[in-house]
Structures are given as structure tokens and as C-alpha cells.
Amino acid sequence: MTVTPQNAKVGDMIPDHKFGPVTRTTLALYAGASGDHNPIHIDLDFAKNAGMPDVFAHGMLSMAQLGRLVSNFAGQDKIRHLDTRFTAITPVGATVDCTGEVTDRREEGGETLLTLKLAAHIDDGTQTLKGEAVIAV
């Protein structure tokens, strides 16, 4: 049975969400769409001068995928809280795999709230984001 906000229990995994592969074009478009023009994500010359082997993805592009994971599950207007820690960089070419596990279900202020433990991993198994969301059912 598909896990929904209505039937979700502690320990359930919500439907996962994949994004990618992240290309240089993706990063150029994200720079334009988000207004984040930090050249470390789009300018190879700048990245090399800064001691990096290549450009790498905006952390917020991956957090946007956690946002999609949670809004696909609950509806965006039901999200009360979303947070993440960026634990590793996401290289060009990576596919971002987002997962969420229900860790709490409670009644508060007349509504049912679910807490989700969120994660993003890339193809080689590296965890790139570690986060949490609170949604109203």
C-alpha cells in the first residue's frame, strides 16, 4: 500500500524522489533562476583558481529536491518546517536520490503533524543532505 500522510506510521518510508543527472546546463539554469550567481557553481576557471577540481552543484538545488519530495507527498501548503544540513558537495553528473522516513506522528493545536527524517544521496552512496520536515496532515 502506498504510504500517504493519512496512513503514515512511524518507521514508514514515503515515496522517494530522484533528480538528475545534474549537468552543467542544470547549474547554469539554476544560477539564473535562483539569482545565485556564485561562480564556484558555473565558472570552471573560478573553481580551479579556488582549488576545486571542477564546479559543483548549488546546495539549494538539492534542497529544492527535498522540497519536491515532501510536497509530492503532502502538498506544498502542508509543509510547516523544512531544514537541511549540507554534508557533502554534489558533483556534476550526479543523480540525487531523496528519501524520507516518518519519525513522529502527533496531535498538536488541533492538527495532526508528521515529522520526516530526510536524506539525499548521490550515485556513489555519499550522503549529501541530512534534514527534517514537519507537515500537517
The residue ranges that bind another protein (CB under 8 A) are 19, 26, 29-30, 32-36, 38-40, 46, 49-51, 58-61, 63-65, 67-68, 70-72, 76-77, 79-86, 89
CB of 73 to another protein, least distance (A): 12
Q: C-alpha grid cell for residue 84?
A: 537541511
Single-letter residue type at 105: R
CB of 5 to another protein, least distance (A): 15
CB of 132 to another protein, least distance (A): 9
CB of 77 to another protein, least distance (A): 5
Give the three-class secondary structure for 61: helix
120 Cβ contact list (under 8 Å, min separation 6): 62, 65, 66, 96, 97, 98, 99, 127, 128, 129
Q: Residue 46 or residue 115: which is nearer to another protein going by CB?
A: 46
98 Cβ contact list (under 8 Å, min separation 6): 16, 17, 18, 19, 65, 66, 68, 69, 118, 119, 120, 129
Q: Residue 11 or residue 25: which is nearer to another protein going by CB?
A: 25
Other C-beta atoms lying within 10 Å of the C-beta of residue 88:
15
Q: Residue 11 or residue 135: which is nearer to another protein going by CB?
A: 135
Q: Residue 7 or residue 38: which is nearer to another protein going by CB?
A: 38
